């Protein structure tokens, strides 16, 4: 199991999660080229136990410039809140999914726009500690554990937004993303996607605490 940090009152925590659009008919979650983000959900907890700040950053069009701006805003959001040291970024399956997609897509947008997004991303990730919570749970249960199951195991509540009388799921995201990026999304649809995306990040801070040791191993 990866060594999660002892609970540290000086630790500043961020959480990150992507909502993406598949680019092929049968996408592979382990292949970053198969996915393009349309929004990034970010959480910030200045110290353990504090109420997290959560926000969802959307692309406003399907252009490469809008995609580049999404990544720049993501980096700025974290950099504006991060202290000089002792910063942790929390993800759920980020090692295999979110971070490889971000690295790949920032390289693509830089090649097409001449920007320095990938360099800025690499600098940010280099100075932060990354904790992917899916990994210790896999070690504990000897199998991959979904986020919903992990939250249930640890009795952690999360939001469950609905749209059209049905609970919003990841399968709804591609169609909803198209409406958002073409400007056809109603305020209610945008709110449903916002709540769905935020529901994958807000509970990560509590889950991180549940999985972190409180005293050193004897």
Q: Mean pLDDT for the chain?
A: 92
Single pTM value for the model: 0.91
The ranges assigned to domains in the chain are: 12-146+198-209
3: pLDDT strictly greater than 80:
no
Average pLDDT over residues 104-131: 96
Instruction: Report the 3 state secondary structure along the chain.
Output: CCCCCCCCCCCEEEEEEEEEEECCCCCCCCCHHHEEEEEEEEEEECCCCCCCEEEEEECCCCCHHHHHHHHHHHHHHHHHHCCCCCEEEEECCHHHHHHHHHHHHHHHHHHHHCCCHHHHHHHHHHHCEEEECHHHHHHHHCCCCCHHHHHHHCCCCCCCCEECCEECCHHHHHHHHHHHHCCCCCHHHHHHHHHHHHHCCCCHHHHHHHHCCCCCCC
pLDDT in tens, 28-69: 999 999 999 999 999 999 988 899 999 999 999 999 999 999
Whether domain 12-146+198-209 has CATH 1.20.120.550: the reply is no
Average pLDDT over residues 104-113: 98
């Amino acid at each position: 199991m990866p060594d999660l940090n002892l609970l540290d009152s000086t630790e500043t925590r961020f959480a990150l999660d992507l909502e993406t659009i598949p680019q092929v008919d049968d996408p592979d979650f382990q292949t970053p080229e198969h996915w393009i983000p349309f929004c990034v959900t970010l959480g910030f907890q200045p110290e353990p136990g504090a109420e997290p700040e959560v926000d969802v950053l959307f692309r406003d069009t399907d252009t490469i410039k809008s995609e580049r701006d999404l990544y720049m805003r993501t980096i700025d959001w974290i950099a504006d809140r991060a202290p000089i040291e002792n910063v942790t970024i929390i993800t759920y399956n980020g090692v295999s999914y979110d971070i490889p997609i971000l690295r790949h897509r920032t390289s693509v947008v830089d090649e097409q726009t001449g920007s320095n997004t990938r360099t800025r991303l690499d600098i940010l990730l280099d100075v932060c500690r990354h904790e992917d919570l899916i990994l210790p749970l896999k070690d504990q249960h000897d199998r991959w554990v979904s986020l919903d199951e992990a939250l249930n195991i640890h009795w952690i509540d999360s939001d469950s937004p609905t749209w059209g009388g049905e609970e919003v799921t990841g399968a709804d995201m591609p169609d909803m993303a198209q409406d958002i990026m073409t400007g056809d999304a109603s305020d209610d649809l945008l709110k449903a996607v916002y709540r769905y995306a935020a529901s994958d990040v807000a509970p990560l801070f509590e889950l991180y605490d549940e999985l972190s040791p409180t005293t050193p191993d004897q």
